[in-house]
Structure 1
Amino acid sequence: MAVITIFRQAGCKGRYIAERLVRSLDYHLADYGTAERLMLQCGYETTPKVYESVPDLWDRFTRRGMERDEINSMLRSVTLAIAHHGNVVSLGRGCFAPLQGLCDVINVRVKAPLPLRIERVSEEHQLTMEEAAVYVAEKDALNADFARTSYGLSPDDITLFDIVIDTGKVEPDTAVEWLTEAASDLKCKEGDPTAAALKVDRVLERAVNKEFRRRERLRSK
């Protein structure tokens, strides 16, 4: 019951890798949409209407104050509950941060050279190269600020990750193969801390189970 977290920057093919890894392992995918649904189910619909779209929700993480702190606390609880469930690939800006030192968790960073990232973003979003460069810079700043203000960490600290993959050198499909093998061969020693043993909020635990069962029903149709 492994957990794989994937931190990526725009243009690194991180979502591509995550989605295909989910298929390869028959795991669940948890991303910002998953977190938003769980947060809303557990009471955040009563917060002032700042979460009307996914971008609005995540853009809030760069703003200081009580609102950001409350969201971050809830998000950390959601991240832990998802990891506790197991058999999941978590794709997000900071999902690696609260899951350090757990033997059944593989924290992955996906990177690529900046020129290649800009080129990919230009093609994927039909932007000019100049527009793509601005887009990438803004996303990088948002990611870095989120990790710093929410967890006091830098995603540029490679010691926070178990595996770092450069998709400028390694094809994304090869990365999927590597990570599939890593998850399949993952072993824990007796007494090692695990995500499966985390103490999590019971309401969130039930919400996560319900959400993943819902997805399983949709897949089976």
Structure 2
Amino acid sequence: MAVITISRQFGAGGRTLGEMIAKKLDYQFIDDLIVQELAEKANISTGFVKSMERTAGGTISKFTTGMLSSNYIERLVGEDKGYMDEHIYVELLHEVILEFAKMGNVVLLGRGGQYILHEFNNAYHILLVADLKSRIKFIQQFYDISDAKAAKVVKQGAARRSSLFKKFGKEDYDHPHLYHLVLNMSRLSLEQALKAIVALI
């Protein structure tokens, strides 16, 4: 009943490897399900949760009325109003990730799992790193986009990752002491990384 958290520098192959691990071990891969649970608990749309996660800073105050759907405005002022700010996001994220972890046999992608489950029994924390050139190449090849577009995507992904951890008040998210295993994906294939993680579990 292990739990595996995958943290990664954006473009290091975290989602792809996470799905490979889940398939190999017959675990459940958890990513978008976290967004769905957060939205349900806060009574807001999944789109709004994703918008918060995408936006640097992520605070609800940065969203103007003009950027919100009429659906959201109705919920905000109606009887079944929903609301989410940074504090609520982090609080609910802890709750949701713990719920999934208690299920066991899951692979959790990103969102601070290495912090939230730091003392959780039978949780294994993995960090994937890679140099910038390798990360751009990975995104370009796996998503069939231009080098320029891939470079932009990697830059935006890194900014979102930094923004998320600011919500946790953390800046040491790439420090090896947080993890059971750190893999340099510039020097390893996905298959080699998969074997190393399966051997650890």
RMSD (Å), alpha carbons: 2.1
**Does the 8 Å contact 1:8/1:93 carry over to 2?**
no
| 1:101-128 CA-partner distances (Å, limit 9, x unpaired) | 3341110001111101112222333433
| 1:10-60 CA-partner distances (Å, limit 9, x unpaired) | 3211111111111111111111x1112222333x22x4x5x4266324225
Match status 1:162 vs 2:180 = yes
* Aligned residues between the structures: 178
Per the alignment, do residues 153 and 85 of structure 1 end up closer, same or farther by CA in structure 2, a change over 3 Å counting?
A: farther
Partner of 2:200: 182
Amino acid in structure 2 at the alignment position of 1:30: I
Partner of 2:50: 55
Mapped to 1, the partners of 2:111 and 2:35 lie a distance apart of 14
Identical amino acids, percent of aligned pairs: 24
Normalising by the residue count of structure 2, what TM-score does the alignment of the two structures yield?
Answer: 0.79
Per the alignment, do residues 133 and 60 of structure 1 end up closer, same or farther by CA in structure 2, a change over 3 Å counting?
A: closer
Partner of 1:12: 12
SS at match of 1:133: helix
Gaps of 5+ in 2: 61-83
User: Which of the numbers 122, 140, 155 marks the counterpart of 1:137?
Assistant: 155
Per the alignment, do residues 25 and 61 of structure 1 end up closer, same or farther by CA in structure 2, a change over 3 Å counting?
A: farther
Partner of 2:71: none
Amino acid in structure 1 at the alignment position of 2:51: D
Give the C-alpha shift of residue 81 in structure 1.
0.9
SS at match of 2:12: coil
**Does the 8 Å contact 1:61/1:68 carry over to 2?**
no
Normalising by the residue count of structure 1, what TM-score does the alignment of the two structures yield?
Answer: 0.73
| Equivalence map 1:4-153=2 (5 Å) | 4-31=4-31, 33-42=32-41, 44-45=42-43, 47=44, 51-52=46-47, 55-59=50-54, 62-64=57-59, 67-153=85-171
Mapped to 1, the partners of 2:85 and 2:192 lie a distance apart of 41
Partner of 1:201: none
Gaps of 5+ in 1: 184-221
Amino acid in structure 1 at the alignment position of 2:37: L
